[in-house]
Amino acid sequence: MKKLACLVLAAGLIAGPAQAQSDISKAMRGVFHLGNARGPIRPVDLSPAKGPVSSEILAGPGNGLDSAFILYTRMAAGVHTGALYALPVDHTYLVLSGKLNVQLGTDRFIAGPDTLVLVPAGVPHRVWNEGAEPETDFQVVTPAPSRDLVSMMKPATARKIDNAAQYVRPAPHLDKLAGGQGHDSLNERVLASRATGSQYVLERLNDVLPGGGRTEPHIHPFDQAYFIRQGTMTVQYGLANYEAGANTLVLLPAGVVHNNLNNGTSPQSTITILLPEPEKGNPMGADVEVAKRAGRPQ
């Protein structure tokens, strides 16, 4: 955010809750913008950023996804923010490049690439970039009780969060990628799940060698999305096939027949999210048979 906006935010906390909320809204309205892409394949808009902090809503209640807001954020070097805020729902940041400064309650952290920050509902937090390089991150806000993300952001005051460091999670290192096909070829690294404090999203990194991926079309009873970090994903969506390259969101609503493979010649790296992660004992999904005849179902 611009320095002026930061000063307004800080002053708003002194002026009172109503004024603080108004100032947050004014400062943040210019940060978030809806992505123009629709449908299952949504490339990030990589044109010049719309300010020192620019968050593209790749998917959300305003453009085709009711279960979450999914955002791609770019933050210029040396950007400082002012006030803490809290959301009534969970919020995750996964750093893609650069370093993200994070405050959770009264504790501060620096998150580097491949580090996830989980902010549980109600936790006061703020992020900024003290580094000399730009920062980019992938965010998920879920569930999504409103179409207006800014209205969900409430002014907050710092308070101690027990063991705040547990919410800053560098991805485990991968020494060697497993090959083959099927689930074992995904080289899965879970960063957020029900078991680790998030009831509404399972978020993981998947790295797939050429020729790997899921071999059978299938469906899920929950929304799913992939964000391609590297390589190209071949996606079957119903009876259509797509190629999704780096910096692309693949959106798979509940009940849609789909499949994904790495048909390229280089490793594929993705962020995979399930919205929500099924509770223990509930089915993850089911394989289905898809008949084709001249491009139409038989």
What is the mean predicted confidence (pLDDT) over 139-162?
Answer: 96
Question: Could you tell me which residues are beta bridge partners of residue 57?
Answer: 34, 71
With beta carbons less than 8 A apart as the criterion, state whether 59 and 41 touch: no
The pLDDT value recorded for residue 21 is 73
Type and span of the H or E element at 109: strand 107-111
Closest by CA to 243, choosing from 224, 226, 257, is: 226
Residue 96: which residues within 8 A CB-CB, separation 6 or more?
A: 113, 136, 137, 138, 229
Residue 161: which residues within 8 A CB-CB, separation 6 or more?
A: 104, 105, 106, 107, 123, 167
What are the b/e assignments for 183-209, b being 16+ CB within 10 Å? eebbbebbbbbeeeebebbbbbbbbbb
The pLDDT value recorded for residue 213 is 80
pLDDT confidence tier of residue 185, bands split at 50, 70 and 90: confident
The pLDDT value recorded for residue 95 is 98
pLDDT tens for 227-250 read 999 999 999 999 999 999 999 999
Closest by CA to 236, choosing from 204, 199, 263, 268, is: 263
What is the overall mean pLDDT for the chain? 88
Residue 283 has pLDDT above 60, yes or no: yes
Residue 216 has pLDDT above 80, yes or no: yes
Structure tokens belonging to residue 174: 């991968």
Percent of the chain with pLDDT over 70: 87
The secondary structure of 220-264 as a DSSP string is -SSEEEEEEEES-EEEEETTEEEEE-SSEEEEE-TT--EEEE--S
Q: d(Cα 221, Cα 69) in Å, to the nearest integer? A: 19
pLDDT confidence tier of residue 180, bands split at 50, 70 and 90: confident
Q: d(Cα 24, Cα 29) in Å, to the nearest integer? A: 8
The pLDDT value recorded for residue 26 is 65
- Per DSSP bridges, beta strands 32-34 and 53-59 are parallel
With beta carbons less than 8 A apart as the criterion, state whether 265 and 238 touch: no
Q: d(Cα 257, Cα 238) in Å, to the nearest integer? A: 5
pLDDT confidence tier of residue 280, bands split at 50, 70 and 90: confident
Percent of the chain with pLDDT over 90: 72
Structure tokens belonging to residue 259: 């499949």
pLDDT confidence tier of residue 116, bands split at 50, 70 and 90: very high
H helices of the chain, where? Answer: 3-15, 17-28
pLDDT tens for 247-263 read 999 999 999 999 999 99
The gap between the terminal CA atoms of the chain, to the nearest Å, is 54
SS3 assignment, position 198: coil
The pLDDT value recorded for residue 176 is 83
pLDDT tens for 36-95 read 999 999 999 999 998 999 999 999 999 999 999 999 999 999 998 778 999 999 999 999
**What are the structural domains of the chain?**
50-170 (2.60.120.10), 183-283 (2.60.120.10)
Other beta carbons within 10 Å of 291: 8
